[in-house]
Chain A
Amino acid sequence: MPAILPRRFRASRRVLPGFTLSVGISVLFAGLIILLPLTGLLWHLAQLSPADYLRVMGTERVLTALRVTVTAAALATVVNGVFGLILAWVLTRYRFFGRGVMDALVDLPFALPTAVAGIALVALYDKSGWIGGVLDRMGLQVAYTWWGIVIAMIFTSIPFAVRAIQPAIEELDPAEEAAALTLGAGPLQRFFKVMLRPLLPTILTGVGLSFVRSLGEFGAVIFIAGNLPYKTEIASLLILIRLDEFDYPAASAVAGTLLALSLVILIAINIAQNRLQSYLRTEG
């Protein structure tokens, strides 16, 4: 129990050499490459008065871009929650021909550069593409609409959902499902009470990571989005446009909002996950 040891014993942990070197390198690098740039954004934000900030954020164009980004990310996240659970379940529980290939394919969106994903998705969903051609005959259009943004976000964030949920399914005890079956639980009851309940905290994490990733996604989205202001313009693109106009305050305001949103969601997931886990434990 190190906590009750006297201080000088705890200090003796530093007998291993390399303390100054490793901490020095870490702090120097983290300071220059991570902390300083983030401070740069905060510094620019701090120069904005609340009124300036509201004026930038309150314009129709910014509000629409944020709405387009958040709603598309939300739908993509719901889809990824459902299919992430199915994929994670199938990959952990079943052994079948082609499972290894499927497992590798799940990681492809993570490994594939986003610009490549972007042009590949347009090639598919454009009227001249395989899927876009079929949809066009049905009178539907995905490329250059809000739906295209959703498709791109689903593509880039599906690995986050699957890989977050998978370890939790591995830990589930199949015996409990069997027990529920022998006790006469129906398939729905088994699914919701025995399977879904213990998985909830991890599903929440996977879904949250996938949402944050979708909020910030740029490369995959801009090719398929159409990028029409007030219609299919995402927040990241608007930041870039303001930057090209040398409107640094506006770019910082939108970027700060996007960053704050991502961080708040990540912190919220963390807290919710801890609460949910202890709740599930006490419920037994």
Chain B
Amino acid sequence: MARRFLIALAVGFLALMVLAPLIAIFHRAFADGAGMYLAAISEPETLAAMRLTVIAALVVLPVNVIFGIAAAWAIARYRFFGRRALLILIEVPFAVSPIVAGLCFLLIYGAYGPVGAALEPYGIQLMFNLTGIVLVSLFVTCPFVMREVLPVLMVSGAEEERAALGLGANGWQIFRHIVLPNISWGLAYGVVLTTARAMGEFGAVSVVSGAIRGETMTLPLQIELLYNDYNATGAFAAATVLTALALVTLVLRGLLDRFGAQRKASI
């Protein structure tokens, strides 16, 4: 009895709070027919926004992969001054609200901030362009890879690496043949999360993007713009692209969970 009641409550809550919004996105996007949907999704401004979103994610991802692995490696394998501080610092972006994050970047790298003002005479502008979008996206997504890789490194221990070192392997060989295979599942998980978040970030990006139509609008910003222009079909059509991305993220996560777990069990 309790079992049925609890399952009904859980199903009801998820259907109303999560599933209904998901269906509403597609319902609204196709409300005026598939033709209008296709027209809306191939609008030049929307396509430009998609392109910018992908470009920004392609810059953010490798940087955060390198940082995530380096930080996880440093924290897991060495004891050094500031190690705990580094660990806490990397978690901070999760606690900072998106608007506050954007503001922080503006206050330091913007024209009125110390770094931004110092660079201005050289004609270098960091905010209100692609650089600004990339910088805040780096901030927002930097904990993901580190968080997934660190526990794997902690559990696997350094024995294999020390053994390889004793057998004469150099740093790159140790990384390539021992560390990378060990962390591959965690790394893949981190890559999926980083990509999804980088492409979907709204608040922080909206502070620093400058919002120039067709130029510095990422897809989430373009959705807001279309929505405020009373172009509901356009907004929801663009939203289906990001929703599809979110669904792919969930499927990849599920697959990684399954295969990752199998791998762990087989060790």
Contact = CB atoms under 8 A, between A and B. Distances in A.
The yes or no verdict on A and B being binding partners is yes
B242 A116 contact: yes
B260 interface: no
Contacts of B7: 90, 94, 96
A84 B181 CA distance: 35
A58 interface: no
Contacts of A239: 99-100, 103
Contacts of B109: 37, 40
B47 interface: no
A250 B99 CA distance: 14
A267 B204 CA distance: 24
A151 B3 CA distance: 27
A269 B198 CA distance: 28
Contacts of A114: 98, 200, 202-203, 220
Given A109-B18, A123-B24, A239-B100, A16 B165 contact: yes
Nearest to A131: B20
B220 A36 contact: no
A105 B104 contact: no
A255 B200 CA distance: 22
Interface of A: 10, 13-19, 21-23, 25-27, 29-30, 33-41, 43-44, 83, 86-87, 89-91, 94, 96, 98, 100, 102, 104-109, 111-117, 119-121, 123-124, 129-131, 151, 154-155, 158, 187, 212, 215-219, 223, 236-237, 239-240, 243, 248, 251-252, 255, 258-259, 262-263, 266
Given A30-B86, A86-B6, A123-B28, A219 B95 contact: no
A155 B254 CA distance: 21
A33 B24 contact: no
A155 B104 contact: no
Closest 4 CB pairs of A and B: A216-B97, A113-B200, A40-B108, A17-B171
Contact of B25 (A18, A38, A120, A251): A120
Given A41-B107, A155-B17, 20 more contacts: A13-B77, A23-B78, A29-B63, A33-B135, A37-B139, A40-B108, A41-B104, A104-B250, A111-B246, A113-B201, A116-B220, A119-B25, A123-B28, A124-B24, A130-B20, A187-B2, A219-B202, A219-B220, A239-B99, A248-B107
A144 B101 CA distance: 26
Interface of B: 2-3, 6-7, 9-11, 13-14, 16-22, 24-25, 27-28, 63, 66-67, 70-71, 73-75, 77-80, 82, 86, 89-90, 92-93, 95-101, 103-109, 112-115, 135, 138-139, 142, 158, 161-162, 165, 170-171, 174-175, 196, 199-203, 206-207, 220-221, 223-224, 227, 235-236, 239, 242-243, 246-247, 249-251, 253-254
A91 B98 CA distance: 30
Contact of B78 (A13, A124, A129): A13
Given A21-B70, A104-B254, A111-B250, A87 B202 contact: no
B77 A16 contact: yes
Contacts, number: 268
24 contacts: A18-B171, A26-B67, A27-B86, A33-B135, A37-B109, A90-B10, A104-B250, A107-B250, A108-B22, A109-B18, A111-B196, A113-B200, A115-B220, A115-B223, A115-B239, A115-B242, A116-B243, A119-B227, A124-B24, A187-B2, A216-B99, A218-B98, A236-B98, A248-B112
B25 A123 contact: yes
A155 B77 CA distance: 39
B119 to A, nearest CB: 13
B22 to A, nearest CB: 7
Determine chain A's interface SS by DSSP, over half rule: helix
Contact of B249 (A43, A111, A130, A187): A111
A11 B27 CA distance: 62
B239 to A, nearest CB: 4
Determine which residue in A106, A119, A154 has the highest number of CB atoms from chain B within 10 A of its CB, and name it.
Answer: A119
A17 B78 CA distance: 10
Nearest to B196: A111
Contact of A115 (B14, B106, B202): B202
A39 to B, nearest CB: 7
B3 A22 contact: no
B73 A216 contact: no
B13 A87 contact: yes
B198 to A, nearest CB: 10
A61 B134 CA distance: 33
Contacts of A130: 20, 24
Contacts of B14: 87, 102, 105-106
Nearest to A104: B250
B6 A90 contact: yes
Contacts of B11: 98, 102
Contact of A36 (B24, B67, B98, B108): B108
A148 to B, nearest CB: 13
Contacts of A83: 9-10, 13
Given A13-B78, A113-B200, A251-B103, A25 B97 contact: no
